[in-house]
Structure 1
Amino acid sequence: MNKASLKKLACIGMIAFAAVITGCGSEHKVAVVDYQKLEDQSPKIKAIQQEITDKDKEISNRLAEDSKKGLSDEEMQKKVQSAQQERMIFIQSKQKQIESMIQSQAGIIAKEKNIGIVMNKMSVPAGAVDITDEVLAKIDGGASKAASSQSK
């Protein structure tokens, strides 16, 4: 083995060791949030998704009208590219809005329950506390109802 390989192995070993040491003795619970369930059941998230659909229709209609105007291929291509960029920016901003809403409510619940880590349910195979219903309730304003049904 050459020196570069030994240095890489030593670095990887130190990182792994640090990860094990920092994880040992931690009594923080892990919680999960089912994003799919939130998207399916939250009226606020559905409203944001509807905004995306409406914007998509608006852009498509605008492009259809532009195509009827008899624009040159080059002008039409510019319109299409501009519309695609507008759509992408709008979708990204709405996705960030949803993500921020979920993260803030999950953070509040995690603090209340002394949970150290909250992850997407798809990332954790088993063994974590599911706080999806509580996040859903907080997003949509019914926090007290979910808290009482989840308390043990």
Structure 2
Amino acid sequence: MKDMWKRMATGAMMVCALGLVAGCGSSDKVGVVNTEKIVQESNKAKDLNKEMEAKQKEITDRLAQVQGTQSEEEFHNTQMNAQQELQIFGQAKSKEFKAYVESNIQSVAKEKELTVVANDQAIMTGGIDITEDVIKKMNEGTPSEEASK
């Protein structure tokens, strides 16, 4: 008799546990975002590209000024240092942009009460596309020359 109660209790707990596990995913609201589109259309990305181009031009001009005044070995070292400077600058700007995008995605996700946001390429079907909302939010705080025209 005790064994039968144990089996019934164990079975009831398993049914409850199965119900809990099955219900876990059903209340999640999943958002998707197209990061490539954000990079192409956001003013922040356009501004960062302009900064990178300006930095590259600055370094190229600097190298052109010292090219005839240094030995070949010194100029090679100067080129290597300039390349490293540009790489560090690019990494810093990339990190800055990534943090900016993530904070805007989190903000939009909170507004839309989404529990999960994934890259649209990682999701086969479904999800709420928040790409345009993220771009709009990013562009609110970042005036670009093209947006002001």
What TM-score, normalized to structure 1?
0.71
Residues 87 and 29 of structure 1: CA distance in aligned 2, closer, same or farther (over 3 Å) = same
1:69-101 per-position Cα deviation (integer Å, ceiling 9, x unaligned)? 2x1122112111111111011111111111111
SS at match of 2:117: strand
Structure with the bigger RCO (C-alpha within 8 Å, sep 6+) is: 2
Give % identity. Answer: 35
Superposed, 1:26-41 pairs within 5 Å as 26=25, 27-41=27-41
Structure 1 vs Structure 2 CA RMSD: 2.2
Q: Which structure 2 segments of 5+ residues have no match?
A: 1-19, 142-149
- C-alpha displacement at 1:23, in angstroms? 9.1
Give the number of aligned pairs. Answer: 121
Match of 1:50 in 2: 50
Q: What amino acid does structure 2 have at the position aligned with 1:38?
A: I
Give the greater-gyration-radius structure (CA). Answer: 2
Q: What amino acid does structure 1 have at the position aligned with 2:48?
A: I
Match of 1:124 in 2: 123
Q: Is the 8 A contact 1:28 1:114 kept in 2?
A: no
- C-alpha displacement at 1:129, in angstroms? 1.4
- Output the CA distance in 1 between the equivalents of 2:91 and 2:21: 34
Moved more, 110-119 or 50-59: 110-119
- Output the CA distance in 1 between the equivalents of 2:67 and 2:53: 21
Residues 76 and 23 of structure 1: CA distance in aligned 2, closer, same or farther (over 3 Å) = farther
- C-alpha displacement at 1:132, in angstroms? 0.7
